[in-house]
Amino acid sequence: MRVFIVYAHPSEDSFTRHVRDSFIAGLESAGHSYTISDLYKMGFVTDMSEAEYLREAYYRADLPVPPDVQAEQEKINRSDAIVFIYPVFWTEAPAKLVGWFNRVWTYGFAYGEAGGKGRAMKQLEAGLVLCIAGNTLPYFNETGLLESMKKVMLNDRLFDRVKDKDFIVLDGMSREFPSRDKNWESYLERVFEAARGMGTRN
């Protein structure tokens, strides 16, 4: 399976970086191939230009998209699955990833009438969200925030663009929690196995 990883974290000194590396190791172990967009390292521009906004606002699929956006869209269409790896910032993905969706999910590609040969987004076989949270799952469940995060990522951003979707929270990873050390290895094993199993879930 060809997997496209969209990774968003500003620091290599993070548990999220270990999650990324463990996931890649799992893919390689299972014989999957992958492409990765490390949004911070790439310096991916997250703000829409006025021209981009007007293209979307007037549903002008005939107008060109910027080269950096087109490159991301081509990575998607060369893949069978897409995976997002990021930390939870205030119940949301980092601004880099939100901006990636704002710019890459263009009219004629991710929604609306196709903008020409090769421009429409293919329906991917699988999608996986791996988010690392400082707080705990009981907190997210009690407050209803977990359901909100899932709805945004799975029901809106991925929607029917992906056939088989999953959302995994690796929780309790704040540096102030003993659970950070307790769960470290088990979480990385879980991620490794999730990577190995890409494309096999029903």
**103-114 residue pLDDT tens:** 999 999 999 976
Does 118 have pLDDT greater than 60?
no
pLDDT value at residue 81: 98
Cβ partners under 8 Å of residue 88, min gap 6:
131, 132, 133, 134, 135, 149, 169
pLDDT value at residue 202: 42
User: In the predicted model, what is the mean pLDDT of residues 154-183?
Assistant: 95
Instruction: DSSP letter for 49, please.
Output: P
Does 122 have pLDDT greater than 60?
yes
Q: Is 147 exposed, middle or buried (0-12, 13-18, 19+ CB in 10 A)?
A: exposed
Positive or negative, the CA dihedral 131, 135, 137, 142 is: negative
Tokens representing 148 are 């909100």
Q: How many CB atoms lie within 10 A of CB 138?
A: 11
pLDDT value at residue 183: 95
Beta carbons of 121 and 112 less than 8 angstroms apart: no
* Residue in the block written with tokens 């705990």: 136
CATH topology (fold) of 2-196: Rossmann fold (3.40.50)
Give me the percent of the chain exceeding a pLDDT of 70.
96
pLDDT value at residue 201: 55
CA distance 185 to 11: 20
Domain ranges of the chain: 2-196
Residue type, position 162, single letter? V
User: In the predicted model, what is the mean pLDDT of residues 111-132?
Assistant: 85
* Residue 199 banded pLDDT, cuts 50, 70, 90: confident
92 bridge partner residues: 89
Q: What's the pLDDT tens digit per position in 29-38? A: 999 999 999 9
